[in-house]
């Protein structure tokens, strides 16, 4: 987010005389390349589900929601680079009204990506829980129409929240609410995991076998959640440090890694589609058909 970047810069100016940690600067071309790859990969996931009727199920609809979140996170950086190029070439007035509005829109995409990822992972966790332990009732409980309705409500709330967070990000309560979503998501998914583990152990004691496909889906969710935490946690910590200890030399030393933390976020959008393809034979086959059909044409 631009606000985090500006705050990070002023914080390091304040604490620069007490911190010997230099800023780690990564090439903008690297950010742009990884962001474009992330957009294209997640767009492939969306197209694969849209073009294959056998993938049009509630489970893959929730995966599409996560892919959309990842694509928005990559698109954020692409648009930001475009704005930087236009400003450097003199096509935009520095800190003018248009650039300020464009920055707010781009930042809203970034926040929407994080909120969408959090909500999508929670919904996928709930879907896995119902698939494994309420398999008989699952087709009646989770229909395609209900899944679409749930996602519509989630994205509407995320969009409104993203706009509000960007508008009031300079207020400490907003920062606290924004960063609190991260541990809250972990708490919710952890509760589901513990409950699933206890039920799975109970099923095992009764010699009831759980479907391998369902357990494979739970493992996929575990990998997705682990990658999400590794890639987003450093940025969330950065926001907290910028807010509560901007002048501390140790905080400033960590904040010098801001671009590395941003690169991790971009990598998350690139890694997730590989996890889908590796863990899902159906999606892997859909990718192969899309690639080979496009080559044959």
> Into how many domains does the chain fold?
1
Cβ-based neighbours of 232, under 8 Å, separated by 6 or more: 114, 117, 182, 264, 265, 268
Radius of gyration of the chain measured on its C-alpha atoms: 21
Question: What is the spatial distance between Cα 273 and Cα 38, in angstroms, rounded to a whole number?
Answer: 9
Cα–Cα distances (Å) from 52 to 159, 196, 217, in that order, read: 28, 31, 19
pLDDT of the chain, 297 residues: tens digit per residue: 555 444 444 444 444 445 577 888 888 888 889 999 999 999 999 998 888 888 888 989 999 999 999 999 899 888 888 887 777 777 666 666 777 777 888 888 888 998 999 899 889 888 888 887 787 888 899 999 999 999 999 999 999 988 888 888 888 888 888 888 888 887 887 787 777 767 766 665 554 555 555 566 667 777 888 888 899 989 988 988 888 888 888 888 888 888 898 899 999 999 998 887 777 888 888 888 777 765 555
Residue 232: what are its φ and ψ, rounded to 5°?
-100, -25
> In this structure, is residue 278 part of a structural domain?
yes
What's the confidence (pLDDT) of residue 68? 94
- CATH of residue 182's domain is 1.20.1070.10
**What are φ and ψ of residue 56, in 5° steps?**
-85, 75
Alpha-carbon dihedral of residues 295, 286, 48, 130, nearest 10 degrees?
Answer: -170
Structural domain boundaries, residue 55: 27-287
Specify if 3 maps to a domain.
Answer: no
Residue with tokens 């930001």: 80
Q: Does residue 239 fall inside a structural domain? A: yes
Distance CA 263, CA 27 (A): 10
Q: Is residue 16 part of a domain?
A: no
Tokens of 121: 């992972």
**CA gap 155, 149 in Å, rounded:** 10
CA atoms within 13 A on the CB side of 236: 18
In a domain, 103, yes or no: yes
CB 144 within 8 A of CB 138: no
Question: Does a structural domain hold residue 11?
Answer: no
Domain-located, residue 294:
no
* Helix, strand or coil, per DSSP, at residue 91: coil
Q: What does the block give as tokens for 103?
A: 């920055």
**Can you tell me whether residue 1 is helix, strand or coil?**
coil
In a domain, 20, yes or no: no
pTM value is: 0.84
Interatomic CA distance for residues 83 and 80, integer angstroms:
5
Helices (H), 137-280: 138-141, 144-167, 172-205, 212-244, 249-255, 258-279
* Nearest in space to 175 (alpha carbons), one of 184, 166, 187, 185: 166
Q: What is the DSSP letter of 16?
A: G
């Amino acid at each position: 987010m631009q606000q985090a970047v500006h705050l990070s810069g002023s914080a390091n100016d304040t604490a620069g005389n007490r911190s010997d940690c230099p800023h780690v600067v990564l090439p903008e071309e690297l950010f742009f390349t990884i962001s474009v790859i992330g957009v294209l990969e997640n767009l492939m996931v969306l197209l694969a589900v849209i073009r294959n009727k056998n993938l049009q199920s509630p489970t893959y609809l929730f995966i599409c929601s996560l892919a959309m979140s990842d694509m928005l996170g990559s698109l954020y950086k692409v648009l930001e680079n475009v704005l930087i190029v236009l400003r450097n070439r003199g096509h935009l007035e520095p800190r003018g009204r248009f650039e300020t509005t464009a920055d707010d829109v781009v930042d809203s995409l970034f926040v929407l990506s994080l909120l969408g990822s959090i909500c999508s992972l929670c919904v996928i966790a709930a879907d896995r829980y119902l698939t494994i332990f309420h398999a008989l009732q699952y087709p009646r409980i989770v229909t395609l129409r209900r899944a679409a309705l749930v996602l519509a409500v989630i994205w509407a709330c995320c969009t409104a929240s993203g706009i509000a967070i960007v508008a009031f990000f300079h207020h400490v309560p907003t920062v606290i609410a924004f960063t609190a979503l991260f541990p809250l998501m972990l708490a919710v998914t952890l509760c589901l995991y513990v409950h699933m583990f206890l039920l799975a152990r109970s099923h095992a004691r009764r010699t009831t076998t759980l479907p391998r496909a369902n357990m494979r889906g739970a493992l996929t969710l575990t990998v997705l959640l682990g990658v999400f935490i590794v890639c987003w946690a450093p940025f969330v910590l950065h926001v907290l440090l910028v807010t509560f200890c901007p002048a501390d030399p140790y905080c400033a030393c960590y904040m010098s890694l801001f671009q590395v933390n941003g690169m991790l976020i971009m990598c998350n959008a690139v890694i997730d589609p590989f996890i889908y393809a590796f863990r899902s034979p159906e999606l892997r086959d859909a990718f192969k058909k899309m690639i080979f059909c496009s080559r044959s044409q």
